Amino acid sequence: MVVLPVHADAELPELSVFIDEMVTEHGFNRDELEAVFDDVEVKDSILKAISRPAEKSKPWYDYRNIFITESRINGGVAFWQEHKEALAHAEATYGVPAEIIVAILGVETRYGGNVGGYRVIDALSTLAFRYPPRSPFFRSELEHFLILTREEQMSQLEPVGSYAGAMGLGQFMPSSYRAYAVDFDGDGRRDIWTNHTDAIGSIANYLKVHGWVPGQSIVHRTEVNNELSEKMLDNALKPSYSREELAVAGFSLAQLPAGNDVLSIVTLTQPEGEEYWLGRQNFYAITRYNHSRMYAMAVTQLAQAIRQQFGEL
């Protein structure tokens, strides 16, 4: 006869070990945690969703069409008009342009219109204990979530978010919430769930901490007239090529502002073939929010469209 450990759950393997760690390392009450996890539901739809994110399953020309739409541009303009004081304050405080903050909110949640439909505790528990490829990451995020709910005096069962456990208007993971969310309106709480001012300041703070350079451009179109080496086609997100190296490799620098910074090579698939861009530090900063060149380009192009339309009013 096999004797199961206390509170063993066939749907959440290793849960008892995790609870032990939360009790020992962070002083949680065991009975309260067990009661929380008794209410957790494993969701197969979460496991299916994480195996086919749009960044990996769609080419750029399809991915772009999801986000660069009239409705999302118009929504961004309306959001900017409604929250122009907070956006101007964030731009002055952190150096991040208002349109970039707005575009991230547009891509992430349609300006708060879709913050996700999964309970965060269900999403993180499912992925922490049932998704081995990234179990350590999600187990850590589950740990942060439980600590966060205690710090912010939030319910552990009520918050909803994405299938990956991203939360609030800006879709912060729990570790990012704890590290980068700010109380931007000074009311004594960091609320990126319903407080648009806090969400705006938190996104700007996140980008600043991750290397945003105030006043610098983001990404520039280029052409290449030589066959690229395998190394240059690896799509590394971090800028690493000098302008001299890029010129020798056959890239045009005609649309690039003067400077001596290093750049990344951004390739995007169009119906007629590959499109090439040169990314600067600010493009890389956006990829720290979501580690995808397509995500960063969608944010950039949506921001440009919103800025243009906002300026025409």
Q: Which residues are known catalytic residues?
A: 108
Tokens of 119: 């309970």
> For residue 243, how far is the Cα from the chain centroid?
29
What letter would DSSP give residue 32? Answer: H
Closest of 150, 148, 288 to residue 206, by C-alpha: 288
| Residue 28 contacts residue 22 (beta carbons within 8 Å) | yes
Q: How far apart are CA 166 and CA 153, in angstroms?
A: 18
Q: Where are the alpha helices (DSSP H) in the chain?
A: 15-26, 30-38, 44-50, 54-57, 60-67, 70-82, 84-94, 98-109, 120-130, 135-151, 174-180, 196-209, 243-248, 281-287, 293-311
The SS3 assignment for 299 reads: helix
| Residue 296 contacts residue 290 (beta carbons within 8 Å) | yes
- Residues 6+ positions from 108 with CB-CB distance below 8 Å: 166, 169, 170, 171
